[in-house]
Structure 1
Amino acid sequence: MKKIAIVTKYMMAGGIEKALINMLNTFSKEKYDVTLYVEKLGGDFFEDIPSYVNVKVIPEIECGNKERIGSALKSFKIGRSIEITKGLIHNYQNREYVDQCIGMCKILPKVEESYDLAIAYSAPVSLALYYVAYNIKANKKWTWIHNEVDQITVDIQDAENVFKEYNKIFCVSKLAKEKFDLKLPKYKNKSEVFYNIMDFRLMEEKSKEKIEKCFDDKQYKILTVGRVCEEKGQDIIPAIALKLKEKGIEYKWYVIGEGELEDKLKKEIKRLQIEDYVVLLGKKLNPYPYFRNCNLYVQTSRQEGYGLTLTEAKYFLKPIISSNTAGAMEQIVNESNGIITEFGVDQFVEQIISLYHDSEKCKCIEKQLQKERIKLIENKKIEEKLKEI
């Protein structure tokens, strides 16, 4: 039986975590002994982790530094206490995020167990990336790139050295790979595209569950799903909604998700007096009944690595209007299986009104999605890759 270690941050309700759950569900418990290391327990998707996966908190990550040093000295591990001290000095002298990750890995103990494969899943730049590289012994090491690296707050080139510890660097879209290769061309031969795994059977099953009456009416229903943050762009929804209202469009726009911009969004909706048009549903662990019953899916993201929600909307044959992110342009052929637009209030208003009035165009999009849906199958590529270990 092959031993696999996977390191991620926290099982919050997000696209990365959902993709990880789908991946974990594909592992054969007869073939693989899987351990998932997290920075802390809990999170909305924590209960969805398969029972055969061993879940562990990264050793000593929740301890204070005095406790770490004291424990090392009591165990007569002088070298360990020196390493912790070096890490503390390093982090005191270097405040950049990449340096803080390096210092933290010096502070944290190395995992005693050895693995056939270790995976850093919450990347491109994260503690997991460094922890797998420097604190876990494994015959092979893989990492995942979930974003366009030129869009993240940390310069990926600052993390250049850590990638030499990895055998494979998986990017969740073609454009994500192109941008990674452009930034770090020396690792081009290690990087490859690996699309997020989808569990369509489970999506179909969950989509039949009952939902709130407020959603089950005859009004034209627009849906947006995602973490409520600047990256996902929901902050422009109130301005779009107001213009749609002023142009006489009868609709309700449902926003699923929570995040740092949620309060700001609520205040703006109230200020513009569009409470009857925009409904914030908050966090929904099962968004699939809403996908099934909406009329239009709108993705307002400023950036998107691949975009699970776009794939989900496509599966439920919904017309999509999305900003021109990497994930959207890889999944949507403009005017064929959806609409791609530039990011902006007026651009979204124009496209929403166009589809609202053009039922024939919506039917054509649905027909194209129906053809593509036949080809949508659960991704078995992970099984092929695991043969390499």
Structure 2
Amino acid sequence: MNKKKVIFVTEKLIMGGVEKSLLEWIKILAPYMEITVAVMHLGGELETEIGKHATIRLLSDEQFHFRQIVARKIKKGKVIDVLQMLRAVNHARRDKSYINQCSNRIYEIDKIDEEFDYAVCFHKPTDILVPYTSMRINAKCKILWFHTEVSETVQMDKDGYKKAYQKYDKFVCVSKAVSKQLEEFLSDRKKDIYTIYNFFDKDTIYKKSELEPVKFGNEKKSIKIVTVGRLSWEKGQDIAIESARIMKEKDIKFVWYFIGDGPSYTELHGLTKKYGLEKQVIFLGGMKNPYPYIKKCDIYVQPSREEGYGMTVAEAKLLQRAIVITDFLTAGEHIQNGENGYIVPINQSELALKIMCLIKRPEKREQFSHNLKGYNYPVECKEKIYELFGIS
């Protein structure tokens, strides 16, 4: 029996929540489907692992200047592409809509002539890969995956994004809250919207949490706090550092470990230095296996401003940590406030207050941990994926 063919399109196979979830879906689908992963950039940490189950294909010519792209396409005989590019560039200069500009730029990237059963845009739903996947890949079914909230970018250009989204056959949202937002935005397409939480293998996480020794310092009398996530405005590490400043001023003994890389590193490092928090705030960088740190910490904190779901919170729940999270869109899908964790307003003072509450009340930490016993990730995720891709 011939396997159906699917292509996932994303930016780069880095060690991020979106990319980790892609790896898990590929593992699940690989026995049933022939999988290609198309990326704009090579060099991500997950390339080797994903390459075991799928063919990786480079899309982008962004490393070249416009004239070089034109010359290369002419050399390949792609004159129509060149004419479309020149026309599109002219349109893009006059168009104020970002998604329309992206739609015009897709001709800079080679069209994929191979035919697929499914083409999946597995990147943020506001960028060039949205029109590229729908317009430059031949597939019987186009799927757009929402890992984030239906953002202000989309709301500010409703007509542009509605037009771009209508070229897709199905939509996947990683939480109920995001699905609700998308249903309101695309009210005529509700039947095409699926809610499928990102999957993770709990047995793998348990094993990985025991694999490596934790390199915490010698602060035996200090509470150990861990936050995992890309260093970016959306993830709110700046809020966490402001909370750390408040806690230090109150003479609380703690060390806060941040795992992850990202564009906000310089800013966050500067903020740490400004407040004299070098002994309290430690940046560990990106890690393929953060689970030993999550398992050994006293408190797990997710200070995000935005989350499509929040995989790291689900992983901390699986490892039965005492958890404090901010009230991002999907917080209520993770935590029953006061029962198995705390949800606080997106505010450094409130965040610091609840963390200090858990530091001073070890019995509350124990209660939260106890109430997470038996937590299991929704098993219906696999069933929904099989339904989405027509696997029986």
TM-score normalised by the chain length of structure 1: 0.92
Hey, what does 2:309 align to over in structure 1? 306
Matching residue of 2:28: 26
Alpha-carbon deviation of 1:49? Answer: 0.9
Residue type of the alignment partner of 1:136: I
Q: C-alpha offsets along residues 270-289 of structure 1, whole Å, 9 cap, x if unaligned?
A: 22222221112122221111
Q: Secondary structure at the match of 1:4?
A: strand
Q: Please state how far the C-alpha of 1:212 moved relative to its aligned partner.
A: 1.5
Whole-Å separation in 1 of the counterparts to 2:128 and 2:218? 40
Q: Is the partner of 1:56 in helix, strand or coil?
A: strand
Contact 1:151-1:303 at 8 Å conserved across structures: no
Q: Give the equivalent residue in structure 2 for 1:255.
A: 258
Partner of residue 13, structure 2: 11
Greater CA deviation, 312-321 or 201-210?
A: 201-210
Determine if contact 1:85/1:107 at 8 Å carries over to the other structure.
no
User: Displacement of 1:266 after TM fit?
Assistant: 1.7
- Supply the distance in 1 between the matched residues of 2:75 and 2:274 (Cα, whole angstroms): 60
Q: Specify which of 353, 362, 365 is matched with residue 359 of structure 1.
A: 362
How large is the Cα RMSD of the aligned pairs?
2.3
Match of 1:194?
Answer: 196
Question: Does the CA-based 8 Å contact 2:27-2:53 persist in structure 1?
Answer: no
Deviation, structure 1 residue 200? 1.8
Please show how residues 1-389 of structure 1 align to structure 2 within 5 Å. 1-29=3-31, 31-58=32-59, 60=61, 62-74=63-75, 77-94=78-95, 96-152=97-153, 155=156, 157=158, 158-208=160-210, 209-214=212-217, 217=220, 219-373=222-376, 377=379, 379-381=381-383, 382-387=385-390
Question: What displacement does 1:55 show?
Answer: 0.5
% of aligned pairs identical?
29
The Cα offsets for residues 39-60 of structure 1, whole Å up to 9 and x where unpaired, read as 0111122222141301101165
Change (3 A) 1:388 1:166: farther
| 1:134-186 superposed Cα distances (whole Å, 9 cap, x missing partner) | 01111111111111113457746221112222121011111111112222323
Structure 1, gaps ≥5 residues long: none
Instruction: Judge conservation of contact 2:229–2:260 (CA < 8 Å) in 1.
Output: yes
The C-alpha deviation readout for 1:94-123, integer Å capped at 9, x for no partner, is: 354312210122333321110111101003
Alpha carbons 1:177, 1:191 under 8 Å: kept: yes
Mean Cα displacement is larger for which, 40-49 or 314-323?
40-49
Secondary structure in 1 matching 2:6: strand
Single out whichever of 237-246 and 12-21 deviates more from structure 2: 237-246
Instruction: After superposing the two structures, state which structure 1 stretch, 124-133 or 85-94, moved more.
Output: 85-94
- The SS at the match of 1:188 is helix
1:337 to 1:17, Cα distance in 2 relative to 1, 3 A: same
| Structure 1 stretch displaced more, 314-323 or 363-372 | 363-372
Distance 1:219 1:59, change over 3 A: closer
**TM-score using structure 2 length:** 0.91
Q: Given residue 37 of structure 1, which amino acid in structure 2 is its aligned partner?
A: A
Deviation at 1:33, TM superposition (A): 0.9
Counterpart amino acid of residue 151 in structure 2: D
Note if contact 2:235-2:303 (Cα within 8 Å) is conserved in structure 1.
yes
Distance 1:247 1:26, change over 3 A: same
The count of corresponding residues between Structure 1 and Structure 2 is 387
Contact 2:154 2:161 in 1 (8 A): no
1:139 alignment partner, SS class: strand
For residue 93 of structure 1, report the CA deviation from its aligned partner: 2.4
